[in-house]
Amino acid sequence: MRKVGVLFSQMLDSQVFGIAKGWHALVTGVLAGAFLLACGGLAPPPESPMHQSVAGAAATQPAPATSAPTPINPAAAPSTSSESGPAHELPPHFQKLVERALALRANAAPAPPPALPPVLQSLNYQGYRGILFRPERSLWRGEPGRFEAQFFHLGFYYREPVTVAVVPHAGGEPQHLPFSSEMFTYDHVKSPPANADLGFAGLRLHAPINNDQYRDEVVVFQGASYFRVVGRGQSYGLSARALAVDTGEPKPEEFPRFTELYLVRPAADDTYIWVLALLESARVTGAYAFRIEPGSVAHKDTLIEVTARVFPRSNAGKIGVLGLAPLTSMFLFGEDQPARFDDFRPEVHDSDGLASLSSTGEWLYRPLRNPGRTTTSSFRLDSPRGFGLLQRDREFASYQDLEAHYQDRPSVWIEPLGDWGKGSLRLLEIATELETDDNIAMLWVPDAVPVDGVSATYRMHVGFADQHGPRGRAIATRRTTTKNGERFLVDFANDKPAADLAKVKAVVSVTGGKLNEQHVELNQHTNTLRASFEITPDTNARDIELRAFLREGEDVLTETWSYLWQPPWPAPALSAAARNR
**Maximum average pLDDT range among 182-191, 472-481, 518-527:** 472-481
For the cut 70, the answer to whether the pLDDT of residue 381 exceeds it is yes
CATH superfamily of 470-579: Immunoglobulins (2.60.40.10)
Label residue 308 by pLDDT band (50, 70, 90): very high
Least confident of 17-26, 434-443, 465-474, 551-560: 17-26
* Helix, strand or coil, per DSSP, at residue 183: helix
Residue-level pLDDT at 265 = 96
Distance of CA 347 to CAs 42, 325, 370, 432, 579, Å?
A: 29, 27, 12, 15, 27
Q: Annotate 356-379 with three-state secondary structure.
A: EECCCCCEEEEECCCCCCCEEEEE
Residue-level pLDDT at 66 = 32
Residue-level pLDDT at 20 = 30
Residue-level pLDDT at 83 = 59
Q: In the predicted model, what is the mean pLDDT of residues 560-572?
A: 81
More confident residue, 342 or 409: 409
Residue-level pLDDT at 569 = 60
Residue-level pLDDT at 194 = 75
For the cut 60, the answer to whether the pLDDT of residue 24 exceeds it is no
2-54+70-463 classified as CATH 2.70.98.10: yes
Neighbour count for residue 4 (Cβ, 10 Å): 12
For the cut 60, the answer to whether the pLDDT of residue 30 exceeds it is no
Q: In the predicted model, what is the mean pLDDT of residues 386-415?
A: 97
Residue-level pLDDT at 580 = 42
Report the distance separating Cα 389 and Cα 251, nearest Å.
Answer: 25
- % pLDDT > 90, the chain: 67
For the cut 90, the answer to whether the pLDDT of residue 65 exceeds it is no
Report the distance separating Cα 191 and Cα 271, nearest Å.
Answer: 41
Residue-level pLDDT at 5 = 30
- % pLDDT > 70, the chain: 83
Q: In the predicted model, what is the mean pLDDT of residues 235-246?
A: 97
User: Can you give the residue ranges of every domain in the chain?
Assistant: 2-54+70-463, 470-579
Least confident of 15-24, 413-422, 464-473: 15-24
For the cut 60, the answer to whether the pLDDT of residue 63 exceeds it is no
CA distance from start to end of the chain? 38
pLDDT in tens, 339-356: 788 899 999 999 999 999
Residue 99: partners with Cβ closer than 8 Å, 6 or more residues away: none
Report the distance separating Cα 505 and Cα 514, nearest Å.
Answer: 18
Distance of CA 77 to CAs 22, 81, 85, 98, Å?
A: 39, 12, 17, 14
pLDDT in tens, 165-211: 999 987 789 999 999 999 999 998 877 887 678 999 999 999 999 98
Q: Do the beta carbons of residue 151 and residue 183 sit within 8 Å?
A: yes
Label residue 570 by pLDDT band (50, 70, 90): low
**pTM (predicted TM-score):** 0.86
Distance of CA 345 to CAs 128, 349, 405, 429, 474, Å?
A: 31, 11, 12, 21, 22
**Phi, psi dihedral angles at 129 (to 5 degrees):** -60, -25
Q: What is the mean pLDDT of the chain?
A: 84
Least confident of 196-200, 333-337, 381-385, 442-446: 196-200
pLDDT in tens, 110-165: 888 888 988 898 899 999 999 999 999 999 999 999 999 999 999 998 999 999 99
Q: In the predicted model, what is the mean pLDDT of residues 482-486?
A: 93
| Closest C-alpha to 558, from 509, 510, 497 | 497
Residue-level pLDDT at 62 = 41
Omega cis (within 30) before 497: no
